[in-house]
């Protein structure tokens, strides 16, 4: 194990020999690290935190710290992180709360840019990008392959659907449609599908055409949301069903 002399690792912490712990890092007693993790410098890992393999934490991250919730009274809640994540400078991830499910989760293969905040009990999937200063309040769900732009605050209990792209500076107070390109110009609005992002992820032209048809029914046809969902369910392909199911289970309403 490569551990800088100024690092502090509490008795009880599990740190494999393949890990690198840089200067002035602190690792709490209930932290479990996977293989080949790198803590660059000044990283704080705290609480009941379980971290997978090959994660890199840059300077001044604070992971598994107590939630910013006045109701929290020191309950033994947790943070869980998957594999192959890049967590850049000054990222903060709060552990869960007892009433919120008790666990904050981050999947695998994510990029969290500088100053990202993931609030208590949030659930972030895999292959996501959270740009600089993206801020998730408590209980937020970010589904797989979603991208949250810089300086985007996401309100409590909102869900960002899979493959969605949120433009920088968008204030998210309702659920963001999967596959959508959503941004704030004068007001928050879905501008159709995230065509470039979906193509980069391997969506075929035929699949994109079917999604575009579904979004036209939802955003451009002279129908209310319930009528549009009924029409979307009649379209071919699993993506249409994913979109319809997302809309029907939304609790905060969707950004159209």
What pLDDT, on the 0 to 100 scale, is given for residue 186? 55
What pLDDT, on the 0 to 100 scale, is given for residue 82? 98
Q: Where in the chain is the domain with CATH 1.20.1180.10?
A: 197-249
Catalytic residues: 120-121, 138
In this structure, what token pair is assigned to residue 104?
A: 């904050």
Pair type for strands 188-193 and 180-184:
antiparallel
Q: Where in the chain is the domain with CATH 2.160.10.10?
A: 2-142
What pLDDT, on the 0 to 100 scale, is given for residue 128? 98
| Superfamily (CATH H level) for 197-249 | Udp N-acetylglucosamine O-acyltransferase, C-terminal domain (1.20.1180.10)
What pLDDT, on the 0 to 100 scale, is given for residue 145? 98
Q: Containing H/E element for 213?
A: helix 205-219
Tally DSSP H helices, then E strands, for the chain: 4, 25
What pLDDT, on the 0 to 100 scale, is given for residue 220? 87
Count Cβ neighbours within 10 Å for each residue of 204-221 and write b for 16 or more, e otherwise.
Answer: eeebbebbebbbebbeee
Count Cβ neighbours within 10 Å for each residue of 106-142 and write b for 16 or more, e otherwise.
Answer: bbbbbebbbbbbbbbbbbbbbbbbbbbbbbbbbbbbb
CATH number of 2-142: 2.160.10.10
What pLDDT, on the 0 to 100 scale, is given for residue 191? 86
What pLDDT, on the 0 to 100 scale, is given for residue 185? 66
Judge if pTM exceeds 0.75. yes
Consecutive sets of 10 residues in the chain, 256 residues long: mean pLDDT of each?
94 97 98 98 98 98 97 96 98 97 97 98 98 97 98 97 96 96 77 92 95 93 92 93 96 92
């Amino acid at each position: 194990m490569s551990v800088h002399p100024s690092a502090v690792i509490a008795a009880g912490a599990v740190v494999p020999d393949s890990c690198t712990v840089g200067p002035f890092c602190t690792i709490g007693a209930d932290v479990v690290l996977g293989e080949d993790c790198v803590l660059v410098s000044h990283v704080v890992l705290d609480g009941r935190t379980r971290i997978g393999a090959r994660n890199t934490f840059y300077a001044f991250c604070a992971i598994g710290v107590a939630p910013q919730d006045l109701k929290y009274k020191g309950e033994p809640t947790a943070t869980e992180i998957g594999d192959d994540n890049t967590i850049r400078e000054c990222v903060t991830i709060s552990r869960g709360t007892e009433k919120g499910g008790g666990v904050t989760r981050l999947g695998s293969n994510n990029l969290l840019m500088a100053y990202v905040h993931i609030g208590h009990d949030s659930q972030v999937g895999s292959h996501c990008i959270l740009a600089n200063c993206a801020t998730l309040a408590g209980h937020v769900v970010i589904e797989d392959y979603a991208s949250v732009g810089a300086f985007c605050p996401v309100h409590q209990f909102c869900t960002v659907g899979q493959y969605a792209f949120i433009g920088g500076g968008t204030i998210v107070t309702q659920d963001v449609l999967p596959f959508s390109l959503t941004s704030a110009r004068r007001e928050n609005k879905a501008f159709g599908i995230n065509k470039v992002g979906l193509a980069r992820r391997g969506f075929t032209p035929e699949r994109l055409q079917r999604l575009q048809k579904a979004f036209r029914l939802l955003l451009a046809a002279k129908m209310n949301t319930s009528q549009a969902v009924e029409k979307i369910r009649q379209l071919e392909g699993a993506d249409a069903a994913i979109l319809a199911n997302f809309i029907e289970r939304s609790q905060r309403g969707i950004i159209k």
